[in-house]
Amino acid sequence: MMLATAARNLTRRSFSTSKALAAQQLTVRDALNAALDEEMERDEKVFLLGEEVAQYDGAYKVSRGLWKKYGDKRVIDTPITEMGFAGIAVGAAMAGLRPVCEFMTFNFSMQAIDQVINSAAKTFYMSAGTVNVPIVFRGPNGAAAGVAAQHSQCFGAWYSHCPGLKVVSPYDSEDAKGLLKAAIRDPDPVVVLENEMVYGVSYPVSDQVLDKNFVLPIGKAKIQRAGKHITIVAHSKAVETAMLAANELAGKGIEAEVINLRSLRPLDSETIFKSVQKTHHLVTVEQGWPQSGIGSEICARVMEHETFFHLDAPIWRVTGVDVPMPYAKTLEAAALPQVPDVVNAVNKVLGVK
């Protein structure tokens, strides 16, 4: 009986004419892997280093197959010393190579923040434009699952605060591939804030995304969903939360426009301004803490721009709770923005009971 039911379900899926199922699917992990492979093949100056990136194929298997293909000189396992291997990577970039420095989690980048900020971000300015530092710092950022306070924080606000860095925060497979390739080709330091929770998730992609020449511009947001009643701005995994909330709101006749920021520095203010001038309402969503966050920056920019006069209600921020991440599963869920939080925020801004 169970076999017959499974067979029927399989048949239904096989003959589905849904566009979403018919589209080519690509996991975020494979998108990142393809970006690394294509850029290493394109430019012999590109190399990857970090903990377990070579023989183990990466802690999250993002670098799967690259060590076998490119060897010890271009895919390098490092000791557990972020300050050390980040410093080696920055020095290599100053000498003309293009290192991709992987942090097993961005929480561990705190060990190397002197290299990221003082060595990588400031050198171009301090050398009067004579020394470029073409380096990528990449790895999982933000909340994972069940790894508590020291492995769960979002560094979007931390790194986007610093002049000299570019900071991108991809959401889906298209973002991941296009932004990582752009970061590797960039002449300046780029921080790529990935999200561990979407590594294994498949997203539909076009032939264009699968092309070796596909690159996304750093500093340009994407309208993930068009709408006319309210603008919801998010980045990384919070885009998914915003999209699910927008779908729920659509059932009540509220059409939300969802903006996927993609880039946190430079921040695409113009896309936000244009959307808010159309919808007259704004909600920001992020998994990071509220104080001095990405949402706070967006609020400030809107207030300092003539877009402020287009608002029909105050801006509302939906953020992570202002506490270190709890370990307990129920408390972890309570500490992160959920779909009902976004829906409630939209209802409050629009004055819906």
Active site residues per annotation: 82, 151
Task: Report d(CA 40, CA 44) in Å as an integer.
Answer: 6
**Nearest to 225, CA basis, from 252, 249, 199:** 249
Q: What are the Cα distances from residue 321, in Å, to 105, 184, 262, 315?
A: 21, 34, 23, 18
Single-letter residue type at 228: K
Task: Report d(CA 234, CA 172) in Å as an integer.
Answer: 13
Cβ atoms of 175 and 215 closer than 8 Å: no
- The SS3 assignment for 136 reads strand
- Cβ-based neighbours of 138, under 8 Å, separated by 6 or more: 100, 101, 102, 103, 180, 183, 191, 192, 194
Cβ atoms of 207 and 154 closer than 8 Å: no
Single-letter residue type at 44: E
Residue whose entry in the numeric block shows the structure tokens 């925020």: 345
Does 170 sit behind a cis peptide bond, omega within 30 degrees of 0 on the bond before it?
no
